[in-house]
Amino acid sequence: MNRRQFLGAAAAPLFLPSSVLGRAGFTAPADRITVGVIGCGKMANDFHLPTLLDFDDVQILAVCDVDTTRRERAKKRVETHYEGEGRATKTCAAYNDFREVLARKDIDAVVIVTPEHWHAIPIIEACKAGKDVYCEKPLTLTLAESKRCIEAVRKYKRVLQTGSQQRSNVFGRFREGCEFVRSGRLGKIKSVTVGVAAPSVWCDLKEEMPEPGLDWDLWLGPAPMRPYSSVLSPRGQHNHFPAWRNYREYSGGGHADMGAHHYDIAQWALGKDDTDPVEIVPPDDPMATFGAKLIYADGIEVTHGGPSGCFFTGTNGTLHLDRGVLKSDPPELAKTPLSEKETHLFVSPGHHRNWIDCIKSRQKPLCDVEIGCRSVALVQLANLAYWHRRRLKWDPVKWEFIGDKEANKWLDRERRSKWSLPKV
C-alpha cells in the first residue's frame, strides 16, 4: 500500500456488523451467555441445538460427545449457523470428554443431554466449576444422586433447569390443567393415576463389534463394564431414541422416561414440589409392573397405571391431562375460564428462555433442581417397590427410608471406582 492508498483507507468509515456492536436488536458478544452442550444425540439435535441457536443472547462455544460422528455433526451445525448469521465468533470446539468443557473458563453454562446414568456426575462437577446447568429429565438415576445434586446446586449457588418442558406448556395445556386442580375445581383430590410405561430390567444384550470412533468405556462411565451394543449407542447418525432407557444399568425404564414428565405434572398440580410420598406399596401380584401406590402424608394416593398422562379424581369430578388432552367430567370444570381470584401459575416464556433469563437474574427457574429431583423420586421409589416387592416408608426431608437399613442400601448403585459420586 502506497501513501495515497493508506490515507484513503484511514479516511474511510469503519463498518462493523450490528451483531458485533450490539445494535439494531442484536446482543453484543460480551453480553451473551456462553454454552457448552454435553451429549449430541437425537434430543440435542432435534430440540436443544435449534432452540439455543435461535437465541441472539446465547453463544454455543463447545459441543461434546463420546461418539466422533455425533460431535462433529453438532460442531458443523453450530458453525454453519453462526457463519450464516455473520457472528464475530463462529468457531465451536468439539470434545470427547465433558471435563474438557467444564475446564473452560469462558463457558458460563452447560446443557447435559446424556443418558440417565450420566446426569449426576456432570451436574455436580459443573456446579463445582461455576457453571449453570440445563439437564434433561429424568434428572437422576438414584435417590442418593438427587440429594447430592440438590446440595451441589445450593452450595455453589447455581441455576439448574430440569428438562421437564411440560411445565412450559410444551405438547399441551399442562399449566392450565394444574391451575384448575389447584383452584379447587375438582373439590378435594382423592386420588391420581399416572399412565406411563413399566420399570427397567437388567441388560442382557448380545455383544457386537465396537463402533469406530466411539469411546465405549466413557459411554459406560459409572455403569458396569459390558461389551458394546448398538441398541445402547447406535452406530453413525441416527434419528431414533436409543433403547438404553429399557435397562436398569442406565435408566429407570419407560416408567422414568415419561414418568419424569407426568409425575412432575402431578406434583405441580398437587402443590407438592417440595416434598414426596411417605409410603410406597407394591401391587399384590408379584409379577406386576403396574399398580404401585405412592401415598402422601395427607393421604392422597398416586397410582402408577391408568389412562396415559395424569388422571385426577376429586369430590367434584375428574380431570384428564395429557399431551394434547385437557378434559374434565363434568366438562365445564375445564372449560370455564379461570377467574382473577383463582390460582394462576407462572407463564413460561419457553423452557430454555426461562433458563437463560434466570441465569441473568439469578432466580430459580420453573423446574429447579429440587423440583426435578422430587418428581423423579416418585419413579425411583416405585421402581424399588417393584424390584424388591417391599412396602417402604420414606422420609422426604432426610431423603432416606425410615428404620429400614436394608432399603437404605438401595439409595444408590454400585459404581466403577473411577466414577464414584462426587463429593460436594
Place 25 in a pLDDT band, splitting at 50, 70 and 90.
low
Domain with CATH 3.40.50.720 in the chain: 18-166
Question: Hunting for cell 470412533 — which residue is that?
Answer: 213
Q: Return the closest-CA partner of residue 112 out of 145, 154, 84.
A: 145
Q: What is the pLDDT of residues 375-396, one digit of tens each?
A: 999 999 999 999 999 999 999 9
How far is CA 155 from each of CA 130, 158, 167, 404, rounded to the nearest angstrom?
A: 11, 8, 26, 29
Q: Do residues 379 and 372 touch, judged by C-beta distance below 8 A?
A: no
Helices then strands (H, E): number in the chain? 15, 14
Cα maximum dimension of the chain: 93
Cell numbers for 260:
419424569
CATH number of 170-200+251-345+369-419: 3.30.360
Higher pLDDT, 64 or 8: 64
CA atoms within 13 A on the CB side of 286: 3
| Sequence letter at residue 75 | K
> Which ranges of 332-419 would DSSP assign to H, the alpha helix?
332-335, 351-361, 369-388, 405-408
Cell numbers for 45:
439435535
For 303: left if phi > 0, alpha if psi spans -120 to 50, otherwise beta; the answer is: beta
350 burial class (0-12, 13-18, 19+ CB within 10 angstroms)? middle
Mean pLDDT of 12-27: 46
Q: Mean of the per-residue pLDDT values for the chain? A: 94
Mean pLDDT of 298-303: 98
Q: What is the pLDDT of residues 324-345, one digit of tens each?
A: 999 999 999 999 999 999 999 9
Percent of all residues in the chain with a pLDDT value above 70, rounded to a whole number: 94
Question: Hunting for cell 392450565 — which residue is that?
Answer: 176
Mean pLDDT of 226-249: 95
CATH number of 18-166: 3.40.50.720
Q: Can you tell me the distance from the alpha carbon of 110 to that of 323, in angstroms, rounded to the nearest whole number?
A: 28
Mean pLDDT of 148-170: 97
96 burial class (0-12, 13-18, 19+ CB within 10 angstroms)? middle
Position 14 pLDDT exceeds 50: no
| Sequence letter at residue 2 | N
Q: What is the pLDDT of residues 115-128, one digit of tens each?
A: 999 999 999 999 99
Domain with CATH 3.30.360 in the chain: 170-200+251-345+369-419
